Structure formats: structure tokens, C-alpha cells
């Protein structure tokens, strides 16, 4: 008998909510056939059958939240190919039913919002979402509960049957509004705390005159080849990482080595509705600026819509946080362990600058900060790294020559 367990489908996840079963007891399944959809605080994912066989037992109820390692269902393996085909023919009707289950409307909502709905017996599929792109948020569920209450129950005081994050001090309601400290927020805290306590952080600050880069981007846009600055930053970053490989490495303390990685997967720190998440742009060294631009936008969209899969979050070798559009002028970013460094890109301002021929002019100056692991690299190496990256930003022709 084969146990299908909830495994880690995203970096650092500890639990997941069982959203939908695609099979029932008695269904015949093929290897890699989707069995169940699981929602974590980072991604939604489908768990597939590790072997072909018959679903003998479903151990968890739909809607339950379970810890990683929990057995979800049992499959009796069928190794004989002929027997498998015969049983599949007989179970065709059941498989069609499974497909029908998969066609149910998917609701964008965090596990905590789903928990509020479930505990208060609200069908989340009936709730109209007012969040971004129709996302169902806590207030939407509370609104449904409010409409269901009798008029005499309506008051400013929390209703006793409404389970929420409100709390009481003594016998009087507290006037302090609380925010749930769980789910993705708690995972972020755990990972950040571990990083700070494990890695000796050093943050190096720098700035770049990106006037020429902005002019070149405008020229490219005018000939029908627009791209975001973020895509250019990543292309320049890959070139810099190849020349300074320490910053694309991982420290293996157990074996006493620093592992230099020869692949370049760039993590994109993204502000999503449920909190910070870092999808990974894979093999950035093999892609053009236009391709990077397209894939960055798609990963950001998936993060906003909670459509990221486990593979979208794994394998990062270096992380970039572009907070400039939000108005940031500086920060001391926390490294996305076990990576060696994180580069934060801040606001670009027009301000007076001194040109190479000692003339005063107005230019576009961007600030940045890079935190690095002092166990792996020293300050001089960090300065050399950012100097090279800044050089590629200030003179786009240098990057073009590097690609030729």
C-alpha cells in the first residue's frame, strides 16, 4: 500500500489546506495523475499519484489543514499493465466525475480567509471578492456573516458566534485591532529571523547615474522594443555574477566548502496580497532582456493571483528586491538564506551631478544597497561587485559588447 503524503511543495511551508480531491475511493489512477489540490500560504499545487493503482482510502476531509508529512490517501499499487488497463476501462465513468470536480471555480483567497469562512459555515465560492482581481478577503466573509444575522444582533460589539482575530481584555472588549500572526506572515518571520541569527550581515551602499540607460530604453521603445529597467538590471547582474562568482555561491559548513554555482536563477522579491514572496526567474544567463522582461511580468502576475507553483519558488541563487517604484531611498535588506547576498534597488531621482569633464549637469541617479554574508565575502569584494554592476548600468554599450 502506498501512502500519499503532503510534502514540502514550497520553500519553508509547514502546512496546507486540502482544497479539492480529484479522485474518490475505488478510482483507478495512472502514475503522475493529479489526486488532490492543496493550498499553502505561498502556492496552490496538485499532488500526483506516485504509482498507478486503486484509491483505497481517503484519510483527510476536504477543507482540513494538515501538517507536512501527513498521509492524505492510500493507493494500492497495480504493477500488471494489462490488469491496469482493464480496471481503467471499468472506471471511465468515475474518472469523468473526477474531471468534473476539477472544473469547479477556483476562488482566490488566503488559507486564513478560508478558515474564517469554514468555521462560520460560509461557502467561500458564494462570496463576492472585493480584493485585487476578485480576491476574497476577510472583510468579504465578515460582510456575508453580517447580512445573515438578525437585525437585533447587529451591534458594534463583536458577535459571540463570529470567530475572528478580535480579543478581549477582562470583561470589556479591547479597542485594539489585531492582525493574525500566522500563515505566510509567520513563515516570513521565521525565515527572516533564521537568516539574521545565522548570517553575519554586512550592507554596502552605492549609487549609479542611469541617465544614459534611461535614454537608451526610450530609444528602444520608440522602435517597438520596450523593456522594463528591472529586466536590464537582471541581465547586468548575471554578467556581474559570472565575474564575481562568490556572490552566486552557498556555504556548506558541514563539509567545510563554499559551493560556487554555475547556474543563475534570480529571485524576485515580490509584494503580494498575502505578503512577501520570492518567485525565481530560472536560467537568466540564457535569456535576452526582452525574454527576462516577459517572464518577470508573468511571475509577478502569478504571485499577485496566488497562482505560483512550488517549482516557481525553488532554486534561487541570488535575490533582487526592486523597491524603488514604492519610493524607497535606502534599506538594509535581509539575505534570502542560504544565498550569499541580496541586492535592493531604490528610488531614482533627478539631481545635480558632476560630469567626467567637471561640468555641472542634471542626471538620473539611482541608489542601491547590497547585504552580503561576511563569512563568504569581504567588503572589498562587495565593492568590486557593485562597481562592475554600476558600470554596466551607467554605460549600456558595455553590456551590449559583453553580449556579443
In-domain check, residue 185: no
Q: What phi and psi values does residue 187 have, to the nearest 5 degrees?
A: -65, -40
Range with the poorest average pLDDT among 112-116, 171-175, 212-216: 171-175
Domain that includes residue 171, residue range: 111-180
Same domain, residue pair 95 and 211: no
Joined grid coordinates for residue 198: 545565522
What is the pLDDT, as a whole number, of residue 135? 78
In-domain check, residue 86: yes
Same domain, residue pair 341 and 247: yes
What is the pLDDT, as a whole number, of residue 152? 37
Asked if residue 259 has pLDDT above 90, the reply is yes
Same domain, residue pair 63 and 205: no
Same domain, residue pair 6 and 146: no
Q: Quote the radius of gyration of the chain (alpha carbons, Å).
A: 26
In-domain check, residue 24: yes
Q: What gap in Å lies between CA 323 and CA 321, rounded to an integer? A: 6
Instruction: Give residue-wise pLDDT tens across range 115-164.
Output: 778 778 888 888 888 877 677 888 888 888 775 433 334 444 444 444 44
Same domain, residue pair 300 and 325: yes
Check: CB of residue 398 under 8 Å from CB of residue 220: no
> Among 53, 78, 102, which residue terminates a domain?
102
Q: What phi and psi values does residue 216 have, to the nearest 5 degrees?
A: -65, -40
Joined grid coordinates for residue 303: 504571485
Asked if residue 377 has pLDDT above 70, the reply is yes
Same domain, residue pair 351 and 379: yes
Same domain, residue pair 366 and 269: yes
> CB within 8 A of 78, min separation 6: which ones?
28, 52, 53, 54, 84, 87
Same domain, residue pair 172 and 72: no
Residue 374 a catalytic site member: yes
End-to-end CA distance of the chain: 57
> Among 180, 200, 228, which residue terminates a domain?
180
Check: CB of residue 183 under 8 Å from CB of residue 274: yes
CATH number at residue 94: 2.40.50.100
Considering the entire predicted model, what is its pTM? 0.68
Same domain, residue pair 212 and 336: yes
Q: What gap in Å lies between CA 317 and CA 339, rounded to an integer? A: 6
Which position among 7, 201, 244, 374 bears the catalytic label? 374
255: left (phi over 0), alpha (psi -120 to 50) or beta: alpha
Same domain, residue pair 290 and 361: yes
In-domain check, residue 145: yes
CATH number at residue 142: 4.10.320.10
In-domain check, residue 186: no
Q: How confident is the model at residue 38 (pLDDT cuts 50, 70, 90)?
A: confident
In-domain check, residue 141: yes
Same domain, residue pair 353 and 213: yes
CATH number at residue 333: 3.30.559.10
In-domain check, residue 187: no
Joined grid coordinates for residue 69: 508529512
The total of structural domains in the chain comes to 3
Q: What number is the average pLDDT over the span 258-275?
A: 91
Given the C-alpha cell 555574477, which residue does it identify? 241
Q: Give the angle 333-192-257 at the CA atoms, nearest 5°.
A: 85
Check: CB of residue 242 under 8 Å from CB of residue 403: no
> Among 67, 102, 137, which residue terminates a domain?
102
Same domain, residue pair 116 and 98: no
Q: What gap in Å lies between CA 25 and CA 47, rounded to an integer? A: 16
Mean pLDDT of the chain: 83
Beta strands in 170-317 (DSSP E): 172-173, 201-209, 249-252, 257-260, 266-268, 270-272, 275-277, 280-281
Instruction: Give residue-wise pLDDT tens across range 270-296.
Output: 988 778 899 999 999 999 999 999 999
> CB within 8 A of 329, min separation 6: which ones?
346, 347, 367
In-domain check, residue 359: yes
Amino acid at each position: 500500500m502506498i501512502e500519499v503524503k503532503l510534502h514540502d511543495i514550497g520553500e519553508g511551508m509547514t502546512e496546507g489546506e486540502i482544497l479539492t480531491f480529484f479522485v474518490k475511493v475505488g478510482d483507478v489512477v495512472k502514475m503522475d495523475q493529479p489526486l488532490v489540490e492543496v493550498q499553502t500560504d505561498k502556492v496552490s499545487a496538485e499532488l500526483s499519484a506516485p504509482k498507478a493503482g486503486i484509491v483505497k482510502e481517503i484519510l483527510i476531509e476536504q477543507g482540513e489543514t494538515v501538517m507536512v508529512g501527513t498521509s492524505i490517501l492510500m493507493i494500492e499499487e497495480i504493477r500488471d499493465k494489462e490488469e491496469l488497463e482493464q480496471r481503467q476501462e471499468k472506471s471511465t465513468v468515475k474518472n469523468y466525475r473526477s474531471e468534473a470536480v476539477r472544473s469547479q471555480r477556483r476562488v482566490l483567497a488566503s488559507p486564513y480567509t478560508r478558515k474564517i469562512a469554514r468555521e462560520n459555515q460560509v461557502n467561500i465560492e458564494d462570496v463576492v471578492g472585493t480584493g485585487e482581481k476578485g480576491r476574497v478577503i476577510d472583510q468579504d466573509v465578515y460582510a456575508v456573516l453580517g447580512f445573515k444575522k438578525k437585525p437585533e444582533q447587529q451591534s458594534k460589539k463583536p458577535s459571540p458566534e463570529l470567530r475572528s482575530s478580535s480579543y478581549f481584555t477582562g470583561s470589556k472588549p479591547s479597542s485594539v485591532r489585531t492582525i493574525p500572526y500566522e500563515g505566510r506572515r509567520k513563515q516570513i518571520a521565521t525565515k527572516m529571523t533564521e537568516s539574521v541569527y545565522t548570517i553575519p550581515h554586512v550592507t554596502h551602499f552605492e549609487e549609479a547615474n542611469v541617465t544614459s540607460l534611461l535614454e537608451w530604453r526610450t530609444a528602444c521603445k520608440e522602435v517597438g522594443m520596450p523593456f522594463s529597467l528591472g529586466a536590464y538590471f537582471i541581465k547586468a547582474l548575471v554578467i556581474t555574477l559570472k565575474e564575481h562568482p562568490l556572490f552566486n555561491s552557498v556555504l556548506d559548513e558541514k563539509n567545510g566548502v563554499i559551493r560556487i554555482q554555475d547556474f543563475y536563477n534570480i529571485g524576485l522579491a515580490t509584494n503580494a496580497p498575502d505578503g512577501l514572496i520570492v518567485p525565481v526567474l530560472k536560467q537568466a544567463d540564457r535569456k535576452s532582456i526582452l525574454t527576462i522582461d516577459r517572464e518577470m511580468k508573468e511571475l509577478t502576475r502569478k504571485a499577485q493571483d496566488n497562482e505560483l507553483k512550488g517549482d516557481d519558488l525553488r532554486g534561487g541563487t541570488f535575490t533582487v528586491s526592486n523597491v524603488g517604484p514604492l519610493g524607497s531611498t535606502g534599506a538594509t535588506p535581509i539575505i534570502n538564506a542560504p544565498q550569499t547576498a541580496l541586492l535592493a534597488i531604490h528610488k531614482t531621482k533627478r539631481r545635480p551631478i558632476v560630469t567626467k569633464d567637471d561640468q555641472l549637469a542634471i542626471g538620473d541617479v539611482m541608489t542601491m544597497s547590497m547585504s552580503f554574508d561576511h563569512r563568504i565575502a569581504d567588503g572589498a569584494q562587495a565593492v568590486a561587485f557593485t562597481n562592475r554592476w554600476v558600470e554596466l548600468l551607467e554605460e549600456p554599450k558595455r553590456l551590449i559588447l559583453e553580449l556579443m
